[in-house]
Structure 1
């Protein structure tokens, strides 16, 4: 039985961590399946995932092969059963779309040939630039249902908890829904979609409101088509908002239809997975676009799991806050029981083009795994675990290679296990972190991240920018401002400073959910010039009730449709007066005053200026003395506003948050930063301290919890580019690990195994059990307290076993 509750995944009555590796059975010779599974098990995984390509299994309409009659490698049933025989869970990803570099993104060619009407058109009635379809077109849904009718019964027979010993614990519906239209700025605007959009508008607005929004007839098909495909400037803002909101609804209906087909053909009682796209160029700035597009799809009812699509390179000082924020934003929109998961967690060496132009550090997958687990991810699917080959199709495609995919013969050469089964340099470090997590998975599966009294806000509509009419200057201005303020500076300045100052924070969806100062005393708000009026009112009410706001960006002047709206500015008692921008001949500089002084003058490229009334100025523009940052009281609360591009001044942001009422309780004393840290805990108080040294140098430091030194005041050395997970008050088999500077890597009744991390590690236990002597450590006893002092240097030999008398 698979249950989703309390942000946990329960299998057979126990919460579990699922560490999964993606193996494409259809890209491997059948005789190689066991070898790849052996390598997966050796790396610490307990599950396998795979796409199930419709293109391969039904290349000719009506001719299905799911058991390997035509090609042995297409024996889907045999592969799933082999995984089960190896004690592995399975996650099925049957599309219809799968991407995975497949031709047509995994759809059979005959679907397009039979139903040309499903191919979308977009702005100006032009053909869409990507190989996608109209998801809700009747012809496409008809064929998708036929595909599910073939594949779902095979999966249903193998569901976990069906009484037949099945191992399938989740089924993904489609893949990266809406991504292709987003990346090409090409919304589906077929006649069918436009008619559906018109019906949606009528259900959303009254006739009088609609006539005020759109100066054309929604009933007249030709007029409607021209007006929406090539909109006039006067209504582009409202069209942008409505089209984005409609697409969310459309995707949710598509997902619900696929779920209905799945359940119709026997797939029930397991979660349905929705994969969220968006990372790009090694960063996460655009990832929330995927959340914005799909959150209505996976929160429309229980039974769904959303999963991140993490394509970062190295996790370092440049990118670490991106992943932390992504996880927070996903959690912000979730239903109360939905946990964090990652359905495509990029692993390997980054050499995707086999040119050695990309190269990830071995720490990359280690760090990303540790951060995701610390933030509450319960399932991570490492993509792609092993490479393979793209076979040639039987029918000639005359497209240059005739293969099922467009990457050539070999596929996945950047994976930890290469196409021919060779181990990449990324494999050992990946294996180490997986085995470490699985050693204490019973604890991690129920732990939650401990948080300070601050949360980062998420506004989904700030990322609803994927469908912008290219001929609109108004939309260009609005979207440019949103893109400038929703991430970038707010992430790389404010969020990075918060994390480096030790703040552990979640996220709140201020657009769709309430914010209560009693639960979240302080919020950090990336703010643009545009913000919905209802959100501005919500923020004003939050302050009036005693909440604190740290705002970075611009104080909004307009709502999201470009109409003047200064509700938040009015609550702050200020009036936006203008903007200053630096250029090649004007070196815009800011100086501090009030509680922010003394500080060096800072060069900037942007500042919003204010008539600040009774607010206390903290930053001004040099030469004009205009105020661009201030502290203002509002009701029982207050705000610190930094409406300028500033630097990652850790003390400034720490002071601001403390003045607002949020103090970081987990801190360190190393002067050069470059350290990510957080902690997780069970309801009983067992804890793990999670630390990442993001830099390529060793760091010695002391750690503090609410001002008290941890580890009895012992200094901790964080090795270069290393991550550790240290236990605090963790119990196993009558032994409490009070603390350990070494990382737990194995647990049994008679043995605790550790990875040493220090020149001299210390493990402090509370137990009445007798520790057996060993030449590798000394034991100091004081009542029930037994202090184990390692005699090994971690950089010489990092393996330690502590045995107990039976």
Structure 2
């Protein structure tokens, strides 16, 4: 078996043929060896063409310097790959260093964190991020030199094992995943990594100071942005959520720096693979839709042989906000797909739920199929069921149970569950509708966003005015309220970065924060001047990202002197449409005399919406936002965008 996996932003190709990638997570170190072939056939019968497996450092280097592969069935990766080839399945190998997967130390060897505590991640106070427990205690600093030294040695041993099984050597291994859900192990424990050895704290040649130097050029420019009086880049401390008197501009910078460290880390792991003559494409999985944008720098650094996917669970425990795939889940799926597509990726869902670690809520077959169809409708081009089948944990390696069953379609002891029929039905659907493999979702409206507003919400600047809208609030209005309204109507939306290519043939809706980068304000102005239709809510920005006065967009559109309209229980009146309730962030503005009023406050008859021509295009100013609750909100957006 020898297949070549390639892709473009429309979809995947196997040996040049458009192919939906349907993979199942299948752990050789858990599934009994005598069951490998039979369960692989069940995956094939359900439409599968690939399987994915972690290769845990934890089990293959149980003692430092002792690498063990093939000494027992649960460590026989070679035999597993041979079986996959015999069964006609491609393989995605996931060597970490991290796996998570409810393994002790998140898949890292215990000796690493016990013997070398200096590699552990730290918060801005110098305290370890990790808590007690076999998983949390393995919260390491990705770029700590000692951690990289130990991980490099493991990668060499792993590469020696899989090299003969690469697709280029006639084997089944077509892709390699570097690490797993980067950022999760830090952010889920409450902080960015601020390990002083990793960031070079206090050193002008350290990573953090070098990053600041690269961004600002001079300390004077940096001080202007920070409104500070540092004398060197190395004086700037790392910051976290609990930093007293947090300078949020520094916080945003440190978050961007952290994203750059993720990019450097994944680039380093990929470099190791290439040094060891592993020539497969490389991939990584964002922990969830909300973290996709943390990997923007990674996708820019890694090139066209790198694939970023995302994980799309809807419930993993009773504490999750929903028990089944809800409209809110569908909205998150849609913007996740669009963010991946904006990064030039064919949307691949690296962990699509096929079961649940918890007994509650139950993963019902109809719910699972609804989740799969929802993802397909929003543009999914490949998926990996997590997990397709499980089995016993190697003694001492599990953290949740002796049996890693996950309520999977194929149980730990080979039992076929009802959910297998959902997997099979979805596989049949994708095979019957091959046109979906490269089809692009049809859209009529663009919902604009700034990449910086989609992440690092804890570090967004505190508004200087009570009526100001933060970037986080603007993204919330866009990714939920506007998206839900558009999804409830007849004009399908696309969520697009305003720093990317904007289509002047489609209306662009933009909820503007008070602060917006100068270049993005310019892009919005150019969009209108070049013939686009811009629906701006609720008012244009008045500052750049550093809080300096910047009204280039407002000036270009002819909007000035915005002010909050003090009202209680208000609603809007639109002639020809009726009343719209549930509005907020209401404001007035001075607009061009030639503007045509569209919308009025129903109590005072004040104009709170109008349209007029600018250049070759049109501007619609809507002086409010809304929390989506009523179909009237969908009707409003169709009325204005149509």
TM-score (normalised: structure 2): 0.87
Cα separation, 2, equivalents of 1:477 and 1:113: 49
Residue 502 to residue 127, structure 1, CA distance change in 2 (3 Å): same
Listed as ranges, the matches of 1:279-428 within 5 Å are 287-288=289-290, 290-300=291-301, 301-313=303-315, 314-334=324-344, 338-348=345-355, 350=356, 352-354=357-359, 357-392=360-395, 403-428=396-421
Aligned to 2:641: 657
Residue 246 to residue 9, structure 1, CA distance change in 2 (3 Å): same
Q: Aligned match of 1:444 in 424, 436, 452?
A: 436
Q: Which has the higher strand share?
A: 1
Residue 42 to residue 468, structure 1, CA distance change in 2 (3 Å): same
The answer to whether residue 454 in structure 2 is matched with residue 463 in structure 1 is yes
- Per the alignment, in what secondary structure is the counterpart of residue 461 of structure 1? helix
Aligned to 2:475: 486
Contact 2:252–2:459 (CA under 8 A) maintained in structure 1: no
Q: Which whole-Å deviations, capped at 9, do the CAs of 1:316-368 have from their partners, x for residues lacking one?
A: 4343232122111210122xxx42211111123x5x322xx313443333333
Residue 228 to residue 645, structure 1, CA distance change in 2 (3 Å): closer
Residue-pair matches, total: 611
Q: Which whole-Å deviations, capped at 9, do the CAs of 1:590-635 have from their partners, x for residues lacking one?
A: 12134xx441351445424434444444344443444444334322
Q: Aligned match of 1:170 in 165, 171, 175?
A: 175
The answer to whether residue 515 in structure 2 is matched with residue 515 in structure 1 is no
The answer to whether residue 577 in structure 2 is matched with residue 602 in structure 1 is no
Aligned to 1:545: 530
Cα separation, 1, equivalents of 2:211 and 2:257: 7
Shift of 1:89: 0.8
Contact 1:175–1:274 (CA under 8 A) maintained in structure 2: yes
Shift of 1:273: 0.5
Q: Which whole-Å deviations, capped at 9, do the CAs of 1:62-121 have from their partners, x for residues lacking one?
A: 112221x1x421211111211111111111111011111222221111112333222122
Contact 1:587–1:604 (CA under 8 A) maintained in structure 2: no
Coordinate RMSD, CA, aligned: 3.0
Contact 1:153–1:267 (CA under 8 A) maintained in structure 2: no
Contact 1:607–1:645 (CA under 8 A) maintained in structure 2: no
Q: Which whole-Å deviations, capped at 9, do the CAs of 1:649-705 have from their partners, x for residues lacking one?
A: 3332222111xxxxxxxxxxxxxxxxxxxxxxxxxxxxxxxxxxxxxxxxxxxxxxx
Contact 1:237–1:474 (CA under 8 A) maintained in structure 2: no
The answer to whether residue 13 in structure 2 is matched with residue 10 in structure 1 is yes
- Per the alignment, in what secondary structure is the counterpart of residue 153 of structure 1? helix
Aligned to 1:273: 283
Contact 2:508–2:535 (CA under 8 A) maintained in structure 1: yes
Shift of 1:541: 1.2
Aligned to 2:484: 496
Aligned to 1:430: 423
Residue 430 to residue 3, structure 1, CA distance change in 2 (3 Å): closer
Contact 1:494–1:648 (CA under 8 A) maintained in structure 2: no
Shift of 1:551: 3.5
- Per the alignment, in what secondary structure is the counterpart of residue 459 of structure 2? coil
Cα separation, 2, equivalents of 1:126 and 1:633: 57
Aligned to 2:569: 588
Cα separation, 2, equivalents of 1:217 and 1:114: 38
Cα separation, 2, equivalents of 1:405 and 1:230: 33
Cα separation, 2, equivalents of 1:298 and 1:633: 38
- Per the alignment, in what secondary structure is the counterpart of residue 123 of structure 1? coil
The answer to whether residue 562 in structure 2 is matched with residue 577 in structure 1 is yes
TM-score (normalised: structure 1): 0.70
Shift of 1:448: 1.9
Cα separation, 2, equivalents of 1:389 and 1:381: 21
Aligned to 1:109: 110
Shift of 1:211: 4.0
Cα separation, 2, equivalents of 1:657 and 1:601: 16
Residue 100 to residue 432, structure 1, CA distance change in 2 (3 Å): same
Q: Which has the higher helix share?
A: 2
Cα separation, 2, equivalents of 1:559 and 1:477: 18
Cα separation, 1, equivalents of 2:284 and 2:506: 32
Aligned to 2:320: none
Residue 523 to residue 265, structure 1, CA distance change in 2 (3 Å): same
Q: Aligned match of 1:158 in 162, 165, 170?
A: 165
Cα separation, 1, equivalents of 2:606 and 2:390: 59
Bigger-Rg structure (1/2): 1
Shift of 1:474: 6.3
Listed as ranges, the matches of 1:586-735 within 5 Å are 587-594=568-575, 597-614=576-593, 615-642=595-622, 643-645=624-626, 647-649=630-632, 650-658=634-642
